[in-house]
Chains A and B, each alone.
Chain A
């Protein structure tokens, strides 16, 4: 047995707590700032305890129509981001589960070619084909549309690979049994495969939701109109003005509102998320 070392364990706790303080501090600080008045924020150092303007600032940001973001309210930006994140997460899961199903449970000419065509897209992130992709979006008239924000990000090799890997572990006897019982491909998919994939789908959903919510380059290129912008881009536009006329207290509120939904998703779905993350990438 390893000797039971209470001192070592105490040091471990101390280091972990310091680590958590470092990790949490920027978020906590922003939260504190979001409850102060503009004057208090502009006069550092800021107090380490939340101020008394929580309701005032949050209702001003949510319902007062923060005119700073080109006349578009925070609610609209949050809605756009939610549509984008949900669209990408659900869309990606749907199309990749279908293509993984085709690749694993059917034999047809060109199967491996298609698999490689999907696999290679891992090596073509948006960043390496920015301009030509932008041009295609303009040609298709998809600028400033939800379709434009969601559709091009829906094809994902990683999700397809994950489902493929999982499907390959499903014993052939199960397929055989289903076929003997007269189940067709659709029945098998709906009644056997989907229920078995539940955990994988949940894990992927968390990862993809966050992927969609935190996108930056894509919405930056795809949206010109402020009312189609996402919250992250809107926030960037809010702080891009000269320091003098930025309403920092409302910026801080917007910041908290922008990071809260994905944090809630991660913390609430932690179990699936952690498993999915560690298994997906391996």
Chain B
């Protein structure tokens, strides 16, 4: 490692002092609760905390055998895949177009990035205003064509609504990364292909798209993490997991079981399962970073 030859300051005490604030916060608000979650996941406790009992992996067995949990796992997968695919496909299309135009690039970028600043919960509300069956203008248009639109009663339509809101919010983020990715592709490669007679579509699929693979893969992981965790606000504000349990994602269920239904052991077991999912996703993401270093 190059850093072992770094010039440093000889000081025994100061570095600990500099690290202290971050470590203190990390210990109190990250490690302690995380270890509590793991500890509670092997306990069975009544909601009032009067009696506690060690139950081993029982909580996990019950959670994983619970049809409601499997349902919310399925909801999460559908929601995440749909959100990631839509947000990335639209962003890629817009980025490729923005790469082509010569005039107005900056203006287009400015006008495309602002949803990044909108809170997910508010993104959900904006879409709810538009598609609310009682006063939304777009819902009104849907209905006037005879389509029976009511996301508050129909689970599939509720899913469409939250996916739209979640994807809409994420387009700007993906757009910025695709633009950066496109700029790093050497123009000479594309020109060479053009001289060899490859048309625009062919150039895109055989040169540009494969060279964008690192960016695409990175965004896939980021979008999945986003859809898993950051969209809690959208679901809480728009559907509340309903109708029925049609939009109850894993994170929403942890919250609901822990805070609303007070099933502590199950909620803790779900937290631990989520932790394992995040660790998996982060590991994938960092493997990719390593690879990228090698291939430049």
Contacts and interface: CB of A to CB of B under 8 A. Distances in A.
Interface residues on B, range: 35 or more
A12 B9 contact: no
Interface in A211-227: 213-217, 220-221
B183 to A, nearest CB: 10
Interface in B170-194: 171-173, 176-177, 180, 190-191, 194
A151 B29 contact: yes
B137 A45 contact: yes
Given A128-B34, A132-B34, A26 B168 contact: yes
A173 B6 CA distance: 9
Contact of B126 (A12, A13, A30): A30
Contacts, number: 303
B98 interface: yes
A122 B264 CA distance: 24
Interface in A233-282: 235-236, 239, 243, 248, 252, 255, 258-259, 262-263, 265-267, 270, 274, 277-278, 281-282
A98 B40 contact: no
28 contacts: A2-B190, A9-B102, A12-B101, A22-B168, A24-B111, A42-B134, A94-B21, A98-B22, A124-B34, A129-B33, A131-B264, A131-B267, A132-B32, A132-B34, A132-B40, A135-B36, A176-B7, A214-B119, A214-B233, A216-B237, A235-B125, A243-B132, A243-B135, A255-B129, A262-B117, A265-B117, A266-B117, A278-B177
Interface of B: 2-3, 5-9, 11-12, 14-16, 18-19, 21-23, 25-26, 28-34, 36-37, 40, 90, 93-94, 97-98, 100-102, 104, 108-123, 125-130, 132, 134-137, 139-141, 168, 171-173, 176-177, 180, 190-191, 194, 200, 218, 222, 229, 232-233, 236-237, 251, 254-255, 258-259, 264, 267-268, 271-272, 274-275, 278-279, 282, 289, 292
